[in-house]
Amino acid sequence: MRAVVAGAAGFIGSHLVDRMLEMGWEVVGVDNLLTGSRANLAHLAGHPRFRLVEQDVCRPVEILGPVDRVLHLASAASPVDFSRFPVEILMAGTVGTRNLLELAAAKGARFLLASTSEVYGDPLVHPQPEDYRGNVDPTGPRGCYDEAKRCAEAFTMAYHRTRGVETRIVRIFNTYGPRTRVDDGRVVPNFVLQALRQQPLTVYGDGSQTRSLCYVDDLVSGLLAALESPEPMPFNLGTEQEITVLELARLVRQLSGSTSEITFRPLPPGDPLRRRPDLSRARTLLGWEPRVSLQEGLRRTLDHFRSVLS
């Protein structure tokens, strides 16, 4: 099996590459290093079945030789990126998606889009099943990301319906783990770094907003299960276990042994108050279930960040 992974140098992409190589696949990574890092792939230097092509997917992607799978994870994805790279995000979701679908069409490869729970926007339905159509503000601060992914899904279905490409779509909910960017700005790396540096843990709002957090190894298993399933319609992947942001801050503080205090700041505009996947579809059709507990996942994440900071 030979796969092209766009976004290979990123957090999720690099874990996915590791798993594919463990499975005996050959992998060509494509990444422009906008938010990813060569360090995430440093352990693969000289690997006989892996190479990285440094390229923007907004330019046509040409890969020599046969390709069986094309996976599109190439997009800046963290809220701090929405104000830094809105145009790049829109381009990766639209032009980048089209270019990777063209590659899949040319090679007769199966295509998988890494979409997001953000397609549901600030949801009015809880938990969110895949047929919920969302509550997105296209002109809001998160519009660049939400609408890019909605367009990417529409592109994917168009190639599926009219260009004969076998396609899969996964809507990823909050995922955390080792190799998350240090300046990612999302809640887990924020708390972990603040706890390890003995700085105050910053909670936005009163901390009663909830998150459901999926450990990256579980997510990678779900991506591969969706990729190899016969189902073209979207799958939610994440966890159903909800935790308030304040509870999470306390848990990180406890697991890290930190003495940091918890401080409160105003909630940023557009920050979702609650988001939780309905995983019935993935459970029934993929037989997939997240397995790593939040405590265990946070321990592994803390270990990683300790080694990065030391």
Among 3, 27, 28, 32, binds ligand NAD (CB under 6 A): 32
Angle of CA points 251, 255, 261, to nearest 5°: 60
Residues 170-209 that bind ligand NAD (CB under 6 A): 172, 174-175, 181
Query: Candidates 4-12, 204-212, 264-272, 296-304 — which segment interacts with ligand NAD by CB under 6 A?
Result: 4-12
Judged by beta carbon, residue 32 or residue 156, the one nearer ligand NAD is 32
Query: Candidates 11-19, 124-132, 246-254, 271-279 — which segment interacts with ligand NAD by CB under 6 A?
Result: 11-19
Q: Residue 195 is inside which H or E element, if any?
A: helix 187-196
Judged by beta carbon, residue 148 or residue 260, the one nearer ligand NAD is 148
The least distance separating ligand NAD from the CB of residue 153, rounded to whole angstroms, comes to 12
User: Which listed residue (145, 159, 176, 215) is catalytic?
Assistant: 145
Binding mask 79-98 for ligand NAD (x = CB under 6 A): -------------x---x--
Nearest to 51 by CA among 1, 103, 3: 3
Query: Candidates 168-176, 226-234, 258-266, 291-299 — which segment interacts with ligand NAD by CB under 6 A?
Result: 168-176
Q: Which residue has the tokens 């397609």?
A: 119
| 212 is a contact residue toward ligand NAD (CB under 6 A) | no
Judged by beta carbon, residue 77 or residue 258, the one nearer ligand NAD is 77
Please, are residues 167 and 232 in contact by the beta-carbon 8 Å criterion? yes
The span from the CA of 96 to the CA of 6, in Å, is 9
Neighbours of 219 (CB within 10 A): 27
3-state secondary structure of 270: coil
The span from the CA of 184 to the CA of 16, in Å, is 19
Q: Which residue has the tokens 């809507």?
A: 171
The least distance separating ligand NAD from the CB of residue 31, rounded to whole angstroms, comes to 4
The span from the CA of 54 to the CA of 46, in Å, is 16
Judged by beta carbon, residue 236 or residue 260, the one nearer ligand NAD is 236
Residues 100-139 that bind ligand NAD (CB under 6 A): 114, 116
3-state secondary structure of 69: strand
Among 27, 28, 44, 77, binds ligand NAD (CB under 6 A): 77
Nearest to 4 by CA among 52, 45, 41: 52
Active site (annotated) includes residue 215: no
Q: Which residues pair with 215 in a beta bridge?
A: 176
Residues that bind ligand NAD (rule: CB under 6 A) add up to a total of 30
| 74 is a contact residue toward ligand NAD (CB under 6 A) | yes
**Gyration radius (Cα) of the chain, Å:** 19
Q: Which residues bind ligand NAD (CB under 6 A)?
A: 6-7, 9-13, 30-36, 56-58, 73-77, 92, 96, 114, 116, 172, 174-175, 181
